[in-house]
Amino acid sequence: MYVAVKGGAAAIESSWQLLEKQRRGDITIAELSVAQIRSQLTLAVDRVMSEGSLYDPELAALAIKQASGDLMEAIFLLRAYRTTLPRLGYSEPLDTARIALVRRISATFKEVPGGQLLGPTYDYTQRLLDFALLAEGETCGQADAGAMAQGLSARPSPCPPVSMNAPDVQACATSGPATVPRINDLLAREGLLETPQPFDAAPPGDLTRDPLMFPADRALRLQALARGDEGWLLAMGYSTQRGYANSHPFAGEIRRGTVSVELVPDELGFAIDIGNLEVTECQMINQFNGSREVPPQFTQGYGLAFGGAERKTMAMALVDRALRADELGEPRVAPAQDEEFVLSHADNVEASGFVQHLKLPHYVDFQAELELVRRLRQAHAKAAQGNANPFNPTQQEAA
């Protein structure tokens, strides 16, 4: 149980003041604005939006600033704000085949319909500190010049830089076809890839309103993974690659870009476009040895998240595939295949809260534990004294 701490109001208010002072930092340095965070720390903003379950780059940037860069705290702030918003309706499923591409790659085919687009990525950087960034007043196009010096192709960037979270994100998108075919469809045409299971007529559950119950269907599992902690998913996905789920995956396709969000108002009866979202989608391909009813074929794992979340969606796809063990008739031999273990510990807001609640007063609980340990030690000491007694009949019998 918790006990009230009296007389601490003044100390708490002082703590708030110190926290604000810590957040602001050196007042001789210009304050970091929300617009700067939104424009230049886009990947952090994307993570906060995904795990905070709210697509709003400005509010995510505000949460990062308020939390002094602590992304878990920012996610908590954004999710808490989300609970105050009214539910106006449900959008139609996103059609990620109709996407304004920023990036699209495949590790399974070199030549694919629609082509591959490298886009912005750290994959081909040398992971060396760029000390030029320490200089104030960076010049426009400096990154492109560095890329050209390394023999890499780079698209001329607009000046000032365009934020991937900004409304004009389509300025960075390609002018490709309206519909980009899926690479997995190539395998499906030959019958080498599993046929996706049809969706139920009933709408999927909503984890933001109802608690997660087990066993959970795939729609609920994907919801939990989409807002799950990236580090946790990365560890679980990594474990499957190291043999803890007998998985040998291939990145069938990773695509990033903007997609339209459509809503069907009750008074209209047809879908209307209400805006765009930037998303990253990953489809993993895994080998499946088949069963008595199903021939050998490839199976899929799926991941999708807001913004540029490549690592998150790849890990999500790996874990999604591992959690399909029961569906595919595979034995559960690894933690990543246990949906209750994976999903119950994936939410970083719950995990952070449960760990950090240990900082709250537990005086009564600890005093009870302390008294119990003292009594047990007294009993242990008496028992030890009794065993050391040479006239103990038990010891004589043993001798």
The pTM (predicted TM-score) of the whole model is 0.81
Chain-centre distance for alpha carbon 136: 33
Cβ(349)–Cβ(335) below 8 Å = no
Domain locations along the chain: 9-82, 100-121+164-353, 363-398
Q: Would you give per-residue pLDDT tens digits along the chain (399 residues)?
A: 344 555 578 888 888 888 888 888 888 888 999 999 999 999 999 999 999 999 999 999 999 999 999 999 999 999 999 999 998 888 888 988 889 999 999 998 888 888 889 999 999 898 999 888 888 765 555 544 444 334 333 333 333 333 344 443 444 444 444 678 888 877 887 778 887 666 556 778 888 888 889 999 999 999 999 999 999 999 999 999 998 987 789 999 999 999 999 999 888 888 999 999 999 999 999 887 666 777 788 889 999 999 999 999 999 999 999 999 888 888 899 999 999 999 999 999 999 999 999 988 888 999 999 999 999 999 999 998 877 655 555 555 554
Burial class (CB in 10 A: 0-12, 13-18, 19+), 23: middle
CA distances from 214 to 24, 129, 157, 255, 376 (A): 44, 46, 48, 31, 40
Rounded Cα gap, residues 332 and 318, in angstroms: 15
Structure tokens belonging to residue 57? 């780059």
